[in-house]
Structure 1
Amino acid sequence: MTGARSFLGRDVLAARADGRYVVVQARADDAPALEAVQRACFPDLSEDEIATERHFRSHQAHFPEGQLAVLDAHTGELVASSSDLRMNVDFAHYAHPYLEETGDNLFTTHDPHGEWLYGADIGVHPKCRGQGLATLLYGARHDLIRRLNLRGHIAGAMPKGYGAVADVLSIEQYVMEVVRGERADPVLSVQLRRGYGVWGIIPDYLEDESCGNYGVCIVWRNKEFRP
């Protein structure tokens, strides 16, 4: 598989060095597998905010280029995915709930002329974590940003470790400690290592006890952007 440009008739956008896992553009018929990965990844997320088959099909209708999946080249199984849409960003008023930003997770807020890629979701099935699949997806997302000449990537990161210490730390203290490297967060620390910066904190971003319902607005800027 190393260096292959297609897999099962699908264009390969990125691949792990050994070819075991490949990134392809997700399709509408992937919706059941995408929902299965979503549920495995986010067992604490409220039912109102989990992405289902209906949502994934709507993502395809609005912005197919922004929907990515990772396939196991040995089995053909879909084991990870990411979902993005385009938007313009008012950085003075960034603190919006997840469902508001994503049009109730249907991507009806997608702006085909938006200058930023908004990272609505990324998930790696628990059985495949630690194998570089999120890195593959982030690389493919950044490639898409460069290809479309967008300003960069913005997302609401879930500080998954905050819920466990919320009774002794404010969210501001927690995020600052993560930024300074004094504390590790399973999501935010990884994104900071990928070159994202923290812009601010989003209260009531979503319903998830593991992050105290908070999101952290993170930004990656495309250094190759041409106005």
Structure 2
Amino acid sequence: MYNKKQYVFDNEKPVKAEIRNYGKSDFPELIAIQKESFPPPFSSDLWWNEQQLANHVALYPQGALCIEVEGEMAGSMTALLTDFDPAHPEHTWQEATDNGSIRNHKPGGTTLYIVDICVRPKYRSLKLGQLLMQAMYEQVVHNGLERLLGGGRMPGYHNFSDKLTAEQYAEQVIAGKLKDPVISFLLRCGRTPVTVAANYVEDEESENYALLMEWKNPFHQ
């Protein structure tokens, strides 16, 4: 199981943060964070429910992480193990995660697949998302996996979809000509693009597109 304590900076003030595995007692706060992190037009049907969270804890507790700041729950990140064929990367979030229930978790899988990451809006200046991502990279290395993989929403795309394809939008974000709240964040975290996926998840702002992005284990042979 995972537990890491360190300091993060709120402006110039160091504050204590802890990344750990979440459990049943954390479910109400995790659901509240989902509602704060993904307001409309994001579909409320995609917020966690208690049954999904119970599956995360029961089926792959190592992939169920949360972060606290000064004792307050501030964010979470969830993953499962799967196999991935780079020659056939196309899939949807529902297929990859069994609609967030992770009943398709493969204990022998070589790819750590990110089901979800969210951080309370009031804590987003503390770079907690990067800390959660780093914790998952550490698990990839510790367990000798090939890669971390997941689909990144493109919430800025709806502002440009009248003149750019999803692929062109992603290319411009990667080239630094445009900024996207999610894709630019994932690039800063060290993720690299694999392919644009259509109909990845119900997401009005992204027009249902996502950019599949990976992080390869530099120690994997």
TM-score normalised over the length of structure 2:
0.92
CA distance in 2, matches of 1:186, 1:14: 27
CA distance in 2, matches of 1:106, 1:178: 31
Q: Cα distance 1:102–1:157, how it changes in 2: closer, same or farther (>3 A)?
A: same
> Is 2:4 the partner of 1:13?
yes
Q: Cα distance 1:218–1:24, how it changes in 2: closer, same or farther (>3 A)?
A: same
Equivalent residue in structure 2 for 1:153, among 127, 148, 152 = 148
Residues 154, 183 of structure 2: 8 Å contact kept:
yes
The answer for the alignment partner of 2:11 in structure 1 is none
> Is 2:50 the partner of 1:30?
no
Deviation at 1:194, TM superposition (A): 2.1
Equivalent residue in structure 1 for 2:53, among 52, 56, 67 = 56
Structural mapping, 1:183-198, within 5 Å: 183-198=178-193
Residues 89, 116 of structure 1: 8 Å contact kept:
yes
Q: Quick one: which amino acid aligns to residue 200 of structure 2?
A: Y
Equivalent residue in structure 2 for 1:135, among 130, 133, 139 = 130
> Is 2:108 the partner of 1:113?
yes
TM-score normalised over the length of structure 1:
0.90
Deviation at 1:87, TM superposition (A): 0.5
Equivalent residue in structure 1 for 2:121, among 118, 126, 144 = 126
How many residues were matched structurally? Answer: 215
Residues 5, 16 of structure 2: 8 Å contact kept:
no
Equivalent residue in structure 2 for 1:182, among 177, 184, 206 = 177
* Post-superposition CA distance 1:169-221 (Å, at most 9, x none): 21111001011111111110121122211110111111111111111110110
Identity %: 31
* Post-superposition CA distance 1:15-57 (Å, at most 9, x none): 2353522111111221111111111111133233222222111
Runs of 4+ residues deviating >6 angstroms: none
> Is 2:77 the partner of 1:82?
yes
Structural mapping, 1:96-107, within 5 Å: 96-107=91-102
